[in-house]
């Protein structure tokens, strides 16, 4: 094989690896949380959920490895014991407020 062909093949393999490593982070939705069982031990190719029309993301512990990036977006919150961000109500001067509510005090609005 010529040197150019070898270099081209190596370049293609490196590019393919980088493209595959992007993963599903940042995609909203419920994936692991809607399946039964929600999470699976070890590697289980059936422990998956459809994502982006024709792809699968996984809810097994195998997906959570340093060289893989095919876990479902909600895997860490559902299976990884990482609590999802919870916005709680608060009380100010005896009045209960929820997320998105405004407080008006002395012409100041928060």
Domain annotation covers residue 9: no
Q: Is the pLDDT of residue 19 over 50?
A: no
Sequence-ordered list of residues with C-beta below 8 angstroms from that of 41, at least 6 positions apart, any chain: 60, 61
| pTM attached to this predicted model | 0.54
Domain annotation covers residue 78: yes
DSSP state at residue 87: P
The domain containing residue 42 runs over which residues?
A: 24-101
Please count the structural domains in the chain.
1
What share of the chain in percent tops pLDDT 90?
Answer: 35
CA 12 – CA 3 distance, rounded (Å) = 14
CA 47 – CA 60 distance, rounded (Å) = 6
Q: How confident is the model at residue 5 (pLDDT cuts 50, 70, 90)?
A: low
Mean pLDDT across 52-66:
90
Domain annotation covers residue 32: yes
Alpha-carbon torsion (76, 81, 86, 92), positive or negative:
negative
């Amino acid at each position: 094989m010529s040197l150019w062909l070898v270099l081209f093949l190596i370049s293609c393999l490196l590019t393919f690896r980088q493209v595959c490593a992007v993963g599903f982070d940042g995609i909203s939705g419920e994936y692991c949380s809607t399946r039964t069982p929600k999470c699976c031990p070890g590697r289980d190719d059936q422990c998956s959920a459809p994502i982006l029309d024709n792809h699968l993301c996984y809810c097994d512990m195998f997906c959570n490895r340093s060289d893989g990036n095919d876990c479902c977006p909600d895997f860490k919150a559902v299976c990884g014991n990482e609590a999802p961000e919870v916005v709680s109500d608060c009380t100010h001067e005896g009045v209960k407020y929820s997320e998105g509510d405004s407080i008006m005090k002395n012409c100041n609005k928060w």
